[in-house]
Structure 1
């Protein structure tokens, strides 16, 4: 299908399953009719990009990363994976602003690669967010253990589950507004922590100069190169929420304007929030602090809380823990939103039961919301297995799922560009052109594939069956899902000469 000409006929629009909307610029738009509300404005997407996953995973999980690899190792790991993320988001920004559909990269994979691969990727992304929702509820229990309460941990999880479920039913506009203000609050809180970390390190808070003592003793690395490789998947999990910008493209009022701006802010999130947070954390807490989250932990404290409690600033520790608790609302809010939309997108593609397509009047996919959010209850497994062991399994599996998703985004970028060339469509039609094309896309694909297959090499030397399953079970499941769907549905590799480059594009772009 050649798509260089505008679609002007209403019958043609109906045949493509499209209808015309007005965005916030007042211009008409052709959008895929998916039943979801388009209420996300530019400010919503911008703050989602900056603060989308600064929650208990960031504030609690950093303890697991610090204890596994040490301060220098943690910085190196997040810098490398952050660089890869920047490449991937450049690809996704170009795709999302060009073809704005619900389901984003899972839809692109089905449309431009192979429906079998799209099916496997959709479920892979669902598994990723299922792991995230379990991790966040696991972190919720850990945060609450800092205070002695009569309510057991599972009781708090039940209460929060009901609250989050009720809020999710308010619709995408409420989600966007909540994310905007909560993300802004979290960014301000992190900036305050940076200042406090400097005061702690210089002795203004606590009365004892710390400086860079912990880089010398206990040291900059906890387990050398092996320790760094162990947490690449952890870093991928912490960065994983950034891709929600692409997933929400179909619910943006003006994706050709909003998504590029959100993508451009990613570099600041990587440098300031993650690398800055790790640096200031590493000068206040040593990696061998027994209260950090590790594999054998039944309970643990946030390293941001430990930074204050170690110098006797108990008021600051309580304040930070309260801020972390508040950030849980944003983290779970984001996970429920993205996970439910992933299920909804799978149902649209025929890869999940159609009952998941049922929506409320405000556009909220009610069935998908309930089904996905119910997975959060699996976090209660930590009551018997230990919070550290549950968290280790979650980050291993979801981190690998993140690398698979990143590889698919880069592959889709290559395929769409090739389809445009074969159909003689100039790249000048793109509302946002990635500055990394083409070598940055190839590099992003290659590095993602490297991490998929080699990040778990530590399980081979010496042989560790449990570690092997943690690192590679998602890869096996992905391949099996793709193979089964290809055999059952007899799918074909998409021919780029006739690939659909029309559906999902807005009229002012064509």
Structure 2
């Protein structure tokens, strides 16, 4: 396979193929290539370190477990408890199923682009190339910060989980220990990261499957409650009202869980982050995307279904706000059945889930930063790699953000840290929307440049562009309404800003980058023209 990069000359000793003669790149000389504020002056030949030096050592199974590790965590093990309490079992199930269809649109859109142009931090690159460099800058930095600060959050949660067994140990000890472990792990060759993440994520998968088998047995009559069936769907019922009474309250409960489901599914797109380090991406990326989506969807749906039939939504222990196993509906179901040892087991699994997420956080944030540097939105130095092909500068910066977890040690610091966490959820939704938007632009560019999508694509996303439009519409709707509790039953200023700080930051980043570009290079400040869109850099061909 040959690597296509228009920045190499036709007689490059590496033997890379150039774009076709009728490609718009033929008319682009180096003086016309836009350079971002962090790039060197136009006309200087730049070698893209991330595309040349990172090792393609990840396999399809590594990509799958990377996404599973980043997705399945406290959202499924603990967050589903408050979701069940506020909406009821059927409403909760419908919300997770509906949001699953939205995730499907994102995954197939990403899959088509990532197999055609499999680059590191794929969707950040696509936003800059296929839509607008300012969009790539804003989305990339927001997404980078969300994963970097999530690393600090997971380190803190890991300490809180351990305190379930021994609360005499200071959380700061565990923040420091786990920070060192996962920082060092991410400096190793990417294959070591892939293998470690696979084993961490496997523990979660085995636990969920085991709990589902236990749930079937419990429902059939094993345990203190005897045969359960669907009795909790009759009393207290399948729908719960939230904030308001009656039908309006039931709809509000459903919409609130729809937002919870959106946050819980975030991380599935991480398959695209590792595309540039995947061997044989034409085969492995589509395979990983397909099995990742269906694997995560089936585990979420099965778990939510059994939680809904095993635990009544009016159980007072649901949504207690605790970060350890005591708030998990999986544990509550076991306690109702009289199995007292399961909480300790699930707490240990929850710890591995959090540590798995922490591991993938550093990897994801570092690769997004590399992608930003490649597109001129970050200093080029962050693409430097060690002898194993690991971008050690990007890893160091992402890991350093994890030290913010220590501010939780101060009483006032916890409030500051919570404001950082407010950025996390909506950042993922913004990324999803941008992926669908990029795919629509990508399809239009293929047509404008005379490329047959059915012939050129290693993987052809079904029902496009209709699925992308469907996903973009509902992602935008959920993003704009996810902070609705700030408006009802009465106006909450703090709640409003904590809900929309991520969206505000995204708009600010976009506006600042656009303003800088107007001053720096006013000829390159608009949306990328379809016939000038770069569809070749990073492309792999047989």
TM-score (normalised: structure 1)? 0.87
Question: Does the residue aligned with 2:310 lie in a helix, a strand or coil?
Answer: coil
CA distance in 2, matches of 1:138, 1:408: 30
- CA distance change for structure 1 residues 374 and 227 in 2, over 3 Å: closer, same or farther? farther
Preserved CA contact (<8 Å) 1:146 1:301: no
Deviation at 1:293, TM superposition (A): 4.2
Give how far 1:364 is off.
1.8
Taking the aligned partners of 2:321 and 2:146, their CA distance within structure 1 comes to: 20
Residue number in structure 1 paired with 2:534: 500
1:388-427 map, 5 Å: 397-427=423-453
Q: How does 1:71-82 map to 2 (within 5 A)?
A: 71-82=89-100
Distance 1:498 1:375 in 2: 37
Shift of 1:377: 3.7
Q: 1:33 aligns to what SS in structure 2?
A: helix
Q: 1:58 to 1:162 in 2, by over 3 A?
A: farther
Could you say which residue in structure 1 is the equivalent of 2:462? 435
Partner of 1:27: none
Give the equivalent residue in structure 2 for 1:94: 112
Partner secondary structure for residue 314 of structure 1: coil
Rate the CA distance shift 1:261–1:159 in 2: closer, same or farther, 3 A. same
Partners of 1:74 and 1:278 within 8 A in 2: yes
Which shifted more, 207-216 or 92-101? Answer: 207-216
Distance 1:125 1:320, change over 3 A: same
- Displacement, 1:260? 0.9
| CA contact 1:67–1:294 (8 Å) conserved in 2 | no
1:54 is matched with which residue?
72
SS for the counterpart of 2:267 is helix
Tell me the matched-pair count.
494
CA distance in 2, matches of 1:386, 1:68: 30
Partner deviation per Cα, 1:294-323 (whole Å, 9 max, x = no partner): 569899533322322333312222222222
Residues in 1 aligned to 2:367 and 2:261: alpha-carbon distance in whole angstroms: 24
Unaligned runs of 5+ in 1: 1-5, 21-29
CA RMSD of aligned residues (A): 3.2
Counterpart residue number, 1:40 = 58
Q: How big is each residue's C-alpha offset from its partner over 1:375-415, in whole Å with a ceiling of 9 and x where there is no partner?
A: 33434555667999999867753222122111111111111
Cα distance in structure 2, aligned partners of 1:417 and 1:258: 22
What secondary structure, in the 3-state scheme, does the structure 1 residue paired with 2:376 have?
A: coil
Supply the distance in 1 between the matched residues of 2:415 and 2:85 (Cα, whole angstroms). Answer: 14
Contact 2:56-2:279 within 8 A present in 1 as well: yes
Gapped regions of structure 2 (runs ≥ 5): 19-47, 243-249, 519-524
- Which of 208, 218, 242 does residue 268 from structure 2 map onto? 242
Q: Give matches, 1:438-453, under 5 Å.
A: 438-453=465-480
Determine the C-alpha separation between the residues in 1 that align with 2:324 and 2:494: 19
Match of 2:134 among 108, 116, 139: 116
Q: Which moved more, 1:274-283 or 1:352-361?
A: 352-361
- Helix, strand or coil at the partner of 2:387: coil
- The 1:371/1:456 distance shift into structure 2, 3 A limit, reads same
CA distance in 2, matches of 1:71, 1:445: 27
Taking the aligned partners of 1:34 and 1:191, their CA distance within structure 2 comes to: 40
Question: Contact 1:206 / 1:312 at 8 angstroms: preserved in 2?
Answer: yes
CA contact (8 A) 1:90 1:436 kept: no
Offset at residue 421 of structure 1 (A): 0.6
> Alpha-carbon deviation of 1:153?
2.2
Select the structure of larger CA radius of gyration.
2
**Corresponding residue for 1:26?**
none
Q: Is the 8 A contact 2:326 2:343 kept in 1?
A: no
- Give the Å deviation of 1:144: 1.9
More deviation in 110-119 or 173-182?
A: 173-182
SS in 1 for 2:476: helix
Helix, strand or coil: the match of 1:436?
coil
In the alignment, which residue of structure 1 is the partner of 2:394? 368
2:372 is matched with 346
Residue 230 (1) aligns with residue 256 (2)? yes
1:12 paired to 2:4: no
Query: 1:18 touches 1:33 (CA, 8 Å); kept in 2?
Result: no
Aligned to 1:324: 350
Assess if the C-alpha contact under 8 Å between 1:222 and 1:287 holds in 2: no
Aligned pair partner of 2:502 in 441, 451, 474: 474
Deviates more, 1:221-230 or 1:435-444: 221-230
Residue of 214, 218, 222 corresponding to 1:200: 218
Q: Structure 1 residue 485 and structure 2 residue 513: aligned?
A: yes
Cα deviations across residues 344-392 of structure 1 (Å, max 9, x unaligned)? 2223333234443332221222232232223334345556679999998
